[in-house]
Each structure stands twice: as C-alpha cells, then as structure tokens.
Amino acid sequence: MKLTTPRGIRDIPPDEYEAMLEIFDAFREKCRLYGFRLMEPATIEKFEVLALKSGEEIEKEIYAFRDKANRRLGLRFDLTVGLTRYVVSNPQLQKPVKLAAYSVQWRYDEPQRGRYRSFYSWDIEIYGGEQILSAAETIIFTDDLLSSLGLKNYSTKISDRRLVERVLREVFHIDDPLPIMRILDKWGKKDEDELVKLMIELGVSEEIARDIIHTFFYSQEVPESEEKNELSQLLDILRDAGVDSAEIDLSIVRGLDYYDGIVFEVRPSNETLALVGGGNYSALVKTFGGNFNAFGAAGGVERLLMYINRESIDTRRIYIIPIGGATPRDALLVAKKLRGLGIPTDYPLTTRGLSKTIKYAEKQGYRYVLFLGPQELREGIYTLKDLATGEQDKYSIEELAEILTQ
C-alpha cells in the first residue's frame, strides 16, 4: 500500500498551518471590526441544494455521492451556498444580516499550482443590503484585510455581469450570453485563439469572436448604460475610502453561475490567478425561495499564502537542555514553571548528546536554549543562550518571565 493522499488533497504541515491560522486571526479581527458574525455552514449538503443554480452539470465539478440510505449528497464547494440556505430558511433573521465563515471546502478541480481539491477560504456575505453599498462594504473589508496581512501589488478589478450581458446582447447580438461569458471567464487559463475557437463552436463568427475579445480584454469601450454609471459610482466610493487598488475591468465575469450584478476579483498585479472573488447574487437567493439582495466575497487561504511573507514561528520559545547529571525529569518540572508563566517551553523526550540536542533545538526553530545542571537546580538560576546572537547570561525564573513575555 502506498501511503499517499488522494489526488489534489494534501496535508498542511505545521509551518504552513500556523501561517494559515494567522490569516484566520486577522480575518476574525476584521469581522469583529466590521460587524460580520461568524458561523460554520453545513459541510455536506443535499445534492439538490448544491445543484439548484447550476443544475446537474455541477456533479462533474464537486464531490457528490450517496449515503447509506441512498440519499444524494455533496461536499460543499464553497461557503456561500450554505450561508444563503441558512439565511433563506431562517426568515426571522433581521436584515441586513452580515455573516462570515472560514473553513475548508472541496472541488473536483484539476490540481495545479494554487489549485487543490480541498482548500480553505474566508468568506463574508451581506444579505438584504443595497447592491452598491454592500459592494462597497465588502470590497473595503477585503482591501483592509489584504493590506493588513502585508499583501502588496494587487489590483481589485470591478465589473458588472449585467453590463457584460447587455453588451453581448446589444452590441454583438448574442441571444444567449451565458455560454459566451463562461468562455470569457477562461481568459488567462486558455490563450486568445482557444477562446475564439470555443466561441466559433457556439456558432459565433470569427470576426465577432475577435471583436468580443477586443472589447472586453483590450479597449474596454462600451456604450453608456445604467450599469456603467453604477460601476463609476462604486469606483468613486472606493477611491474616497482609500481603496487605491480598485479599477474597472470589464473582462471580469466570474465563473460561478450564481452572480447577477456587480462582481469583483482581487489579483496580484500582472497575474490572472484570483486571490479573492465576489459579487452580487440575488438570483441565487430567489432560486432558494428568498427575496432580498445578497453580496459577498471569498478568498482562498492557500493562495494568499503564496503572496504574503509568512513569519509564524514564535521566536521566544525556550528549549531546556539538561547537563551534568540533570535529567529530562528535572527539565519537565522547570518547563512546567516556565509554561505556567506563559513562556512556550519544551525539553528532550529522548536522551541525546549535548551538541545533537542543541542542533535539534536550532532546527526546530527555538530561539533560546536553557542549560539545566545540578547547580542551576540548586540555586534556581539558569543559563539562557540566545541561539540567534550567541549571547548567554544567567537569570532567575522571574527574570526570564520578565524578559521573555514582554
């Protein structure tokens, strides 16, 4: 038997997981500041709930299965569907309601750099707010979160699916714009000629296909319309609020079928990989039987980690090294005292020579080692060595607590 994980599913090792936890901490703090209440939507949904908007087709893209009683189920592919089902099925919730979640989800995506079959995301949703205000609040939150995590050089691209749809219908006379929009969403993943080919397969002439691409990806020149005005209004609000990364980009159409208004994506500059995606989806709410607006955003956590500096190791940690006859059992008791004072401390669980033990502590990322010999035990004064600078000095437990918990 090969001890490997299923395709596209992986272990998240401690360093990376600690960095992820830092992102979640920052996210929780922003939720508190902006008034989003956190919850955990169901991990498994009835297949029919997951398929409500996109239809049976969705089965190919998700983990779908039958339980032992032959019920059709699926692992959630995002957090939005579950949160929306929750809000629609709890009409007593007073709107606008602002909800948030951060958790794992599963998609039967083709694994590649930054694309897994199980991944974490953070997610915020506003139910029952006006579209432009909800869009502004969501995008301001997103920009605040990303910049506070140290992300640099990114753009927040805003667009409107209704505008893209209108241009396809009115300028290019396409009766059914949705399949074309799905092709436009593949920009960056497929090259221009491939997109043209896909459009030709749908019955569009090559000339029009090239014109469509020119309009959305190069000139961005579209006729005046209500949606275009709304986008300019939104951009004004965002600029006033200091979201310098914001720009209108009509090539953003978003892949998921449930968006029906303003949409946005955050991408590292000069890249097509999305760090965050979001938009308006009142049509999804309608399919679920509700009648209120909905706007939200979700960001992939593994992807974010590819672009921010991670510094997750707690550099104050101490590793105790018993010397001159002191035993791990003595170390255990000193560790208990230090831990009680709030200092992360560890000690050897196997007996090894001095240099090997120091090497181990270094490799594990401990900043300090504390030498524990019979004299130290008698006097309660310990030698602390800073592995980063090589300096060492003697301290009592109380002094250690004072300098290491500052």
Residues found near ligand AMP in the complex (CB under 6 A): 78, 107, 109, 114-116, 119, 121, 255-256, 274-277, 298-300, 302-303
**What are the Cα distances from residue 153, in Å, to 114, 123, 146, 217?**
18, 22, 11, 20
Shortest spacing between CB 278 and ligand AMP, in angstroms? 7
DSSP line for 72-132: EEEE-S-SHHHHHHHHHT-TTSPSSEEEEEEEEEE-----BTTB-SEEEEEEEEEESS-HH
CB of 104 to ligand AMP, least distance (A): 11
Chain centroid offset of residue 289 CA: 29
Please say which residue, 44 or 222, places its beta carbon nearer to ligand AMP: 44
78: closest CA among 58, 100, 103, 99? 103
DSSP secondary structure letter of residue 274 = -
Q: DSSP state, 392?
A: E
Measured distance CA(51)–CA(225) in Å, rounded: 33
Query: What minimum distance in Å lies between the beta carbon of 3 and ligand AMP?
Result: 23
* Cβ–Cβ under 8 Å, residues 321 and 356: no
Is 83 or 275 the residue whose CB approaches ligand AMP more closely? 275
Beta carbon nearer to ligand AMP, 41 or 348: 41
Smallest gap, in angstroms, from Cβ of residue 311 to ligand AMP? Answer: 22
DSSP state for residue 372 in the 8-state scheme = E
- Give the shortest CB-105-to-ligand AMP separation in angstroms: 8
Partner residues linked to 160 by β-bridges: 262
Shorter beta-carbon distance to ligand AMP: residue 259 or 368? 259
> Cβ 77 to ligand AMP, closest distance in Å?
8
Residue 119 or 288: the one with the smaller Cβ distance to ligand AMP is 119
* Rounded-to-integer distance, Cα 363 and Cα 374, Å: 27
Nearer to ligand AMP among residue 30 and residue 367 (C-beta) = 30
Residue nearest ligand AMP, Cβ-based: 300
* In the block, residue with structure tokens 């749809």: 165
Of the pair 129, 300, the CB lying nearest ligand AMP is at 300
Quote the least distance from Cβ 111 to ligand AMP, whole Å: 8
